[in-house]
A and B are shown apart, each in its own frame.
Chain A
Amino acid sequence: MTPFEYLRAGDPGEAVAAVAGRPGAAFLGGGTNLVDHMKLGVAGPDLLVDVSRLPLDRVEETAGGLRVGAAVRNSDLAAHPLVRERYPVLARALLSGASGQLRNVATTAGNLLQRTRCPYFQDVTTPCNKRVPGSGCSAIGGYTRYHAILGASEHCVATHPSDMAVAMAALDAVVVVLGPGGERRLPIGELYRLPGDAPQRDTVLEHGDLITAVELPHLPAARRSAYRKVRDRASFSFALVSVAAVLDLDGDAVRDVRLALGGVAHKPWRAARAEEALRGGPATEDAFRRAADAELAGARPLPGNEFKVAMTRGVVVAALRDLAEEGR
Chain B
Amino acid sequence: MTVRRGAVGAPAPRVEGLAKVTGSAAYAYDRPVADPVYACPVQATIARGRVVAIDGGAAAGVEGVLAVVTHREAARLADTADAELAVLQSDAVAFRGQFVGVVLAETPEAARQAAGLVRVEYDEEPHDTELRADRAGLYTPEQVNGGFAPDTDEGDVDAAMEAAAVTVDRIYTTPMLFNNPMEPHTSVAVWGDGGDEGGGGPGEARLTLYDSTQGAHVVRSTLARVFGLPPERVRVISPYVGGGFGSKGMPHAHNVLAGLAAMAVPGRPVKLALTRQQMFSLAGHRTPTIQRVRLGAGADGRLTAVAHEVVEHTSALKEFAEQTAVGARMMYAAPNRRTAHRLAALDVPVPSWMRAPGEAPGFFGLEVAMDELAQACGLDPVELRARNEPEVDPESGRPWSGRHLVRCLREGAARFGWEERAAVPGTRRAGRELVGLGVAASTYPYYRFPGSRAVVGYDGSGRYTVRIGAADIGTGAWTVLTQIAADALECPLGAVRVEIGDSELPPATVAGGSSGTASWGSAIVAACHAFRGAYGTEPPPGAEAGADMPRDPDAERFAMHSFGAQFAEVRVDADTGEIRVPRMLGVFSAGRIVNPRTARSQFIGGMTMGLSMALHERGVLDHRTGHVVNHDFAEYHIATHADVVDVDAVWLEEEDAHAGPLGARGIGEIGIVGAPAAIANAVHNATGVRVRDLPITPDLLLR
Q: Is the CB of B629 within 8 A of A230?
A: no
Residues from chain A with a CB closer than 8 A to the CB of B432 are: 318
Find A234's partner among B625, B627, B632, B643 (CB 8 Å cutoff): B643
Is A314 among interface residues, defined by CB-CB distance under 8 A? yes
The interface-forming segment of B332-340, B439-447, B488-496, B571-579 is: B571-579
Q: Is the CB of A311 within 8 A of B576?
A: yes
Q: Is the CB of B637 within 8 A of A314?
A: no
Given A142-B622, A232-B616, A232-B697: A1 in contact with B578 (beta carbons within 8 A): no
Residues from chain A with a CB closer than 8 A to the CB of B699 are: 240, 307-308, 311
Chain A residue at minimal CB-CB distance from B620: A143
| Chain B interface mostly | loop
Q: Is the CB of A2 within 8 A of B113?
A: yes
Given A230-B578, A318-B576: A1 in contact with B639 (beta carbons within 8 A): no
Residues from chain B with a CB closer than 8 A to the CB of A39 are: 112
A231 to B639, CA, bound (A): 12
Residues from chain A with a CB closer than 8 A to the CB of B642 are: 233-236
Is B22 among interface residues, defined by CB-CB distance under 8 A? no
Q: Which of B578, B615, B620, B630 has the most chain A CB within a 10 Å cutoff?
A: B578
Given A1-B109, A143-B620: A310 in contact with B702 (beta carbons within 8 A): yes
Is A141 among interface residues, defined by CB-CB distance under 8 A? yes
A120 to B625, CA, bound (A): 11
Within 8 A of B (CB), among A214-272: 228, 230-238, 240
A238 to B634, CA, bound (A): 8
Residues from chain B with a CB closer than 8 A to the CB of A122 are: 632
Given A142-B629, A317-B575: A235 in contact with B112 (beta carbons within 8 A): no
Q: Is the CB of A1 within 8 A of B625?
A: no
Map CB proximity to A onto B549-586 as digits: 1 under 8 Å, 0 otherwise: 00000000000000000000000010111101000000
Is B5 among interface residues, defined by CB-CB distance under 8 A? no
Is B641 among interface residues, defined by CB-CB distance under 8 A? yes
Map CB proximity to A onto B624-638 as digits: 1 under 8 Å, 0 otherwise: 110101111011010
Q: Is the CB of A119 within 8 A of B702?
A: no
Given A2-B113, A117-B634, A233-B640: A311 in contact with B702 (beta carbons within 8 A): yes
A314 to B575, CA, bound (A): 5
Residues from chain A with a CB closer than 8 A to the CB of B576 are: 228, 230, 311, 314-315, 318
Is A125 among interface residues, defined by CB-CB distance under 8 A? yes
Q: How far is the CB of B579 from chain A (nearest CB, A)?
A: 9
A308 to B577, CA, bound (A): 11
Q: How far is the CB of B603 from chain A (nearest CB, A)?
A: 22
Q: How far is the CB of B249 from chain A (nearest CB, A)?
A: 28
Is B426 among interface residues, defined by CB-CB distance under 8 A? no
Within 8 A of A (CB), among B654-703: 697-699, 702-703
Is A126 among interface residues, defined by CB-CB distance under 8 A? yes
Residues from chain B with a CB closer than 8 A to the CB of A143 are: 620, 622, 629-630
Chain B residue at minimal CB-CB distance from A117: B634
Residues from chain B with a CB closer than 8 A to the CB of A81 are: none
Q: Is the CB of B637 within 8 A of A237?
A: yes
Chain B residue at minimal CB-CB distance from A236: B640
Find A311's partner among B45, B113, B577 (CB 8 Å cutoff): B577
Residues from chain A with a CB closer than 8 A to the CB of B632 are: 122
Is B116 among interface residues, defined by CB-CB distance under 8 A? yes
Is A41 among interface residues, defined by CB-CB distance under 8 A? yes
A123 to B578, CA, bound (A): 29
Q: Which of B112, B622, B697 has the most chain A CB within a 10 Å cutoff?
A: B622
Q: Is the CB of B630 within 8 A of A119?
A: yes
A160 to B679, CA, bound (A): 32
A281 to B625, CA, bound (A): 51
Is A3 among interface residues, defined by CB-CB distance under 8 A? yes
Q: How far is the CB of B121 from chain A (nearest CB, A)?
A: 14
Residues from chain A with a CB closer than 8 A to the CB of B112 are: 1, 39
Chain A residue at minimal CB-CB distance from B116: A41
A232 to B700, CA, bound (A): 11
Q: Is the CB of B45 within 8 A of A125?
A: yes
Q: Is the CB of B641 within 8 A of A235?
A: yes
Residues from chain A with a CB closer than 8 A to the CB of B637 are: 232-233, 237
A69 to B580, CA, bound (A): 37
Q: Is the CB of A318 within 8 A of B113?
A: no
A235 to B645, CA, bound (A): 12
Q: Which residues of A contact B (CB under 8 A)?
A: 1-3, 39, 41, 117, 119-120, 122-123, 125-126, 138, 141-143, 228, 230-238, 240, 307-308, 310-311, 314-315, 317-318
| Interface CB pairs A-B, < 8 A, 13 | A3-B109, A39-B112, A117-B635, A123-B631, A138-B624, A141-B624, A232-B615, A233-B616, A233-B642, A236-B642, A311-B576, A314-B575, A318-B575
**Besides the contacts A120-B629, A142-B624, A311-B699, what 17 more A-B pairs have beta carbons closer than 8 Å?**
A1-B109, A2-B113, A119-B635, A138-B622, A138-B624, A142-B629, A143-B620, A143-B630, A230-B576, A230-B698, A233-B616, A234-B643, A235-B641, A307-B699, A307-B702, A315-B576, A317-B575
Q: Which residues of B contact A (CB under 8 A)?
A: 45, 109, 112-113, 116, 432, 573, 575-578, 580, 615-616, 620, 622, 624-625, 627, 629-632, 634-635, 637, 639-643, 697-699, 702-703
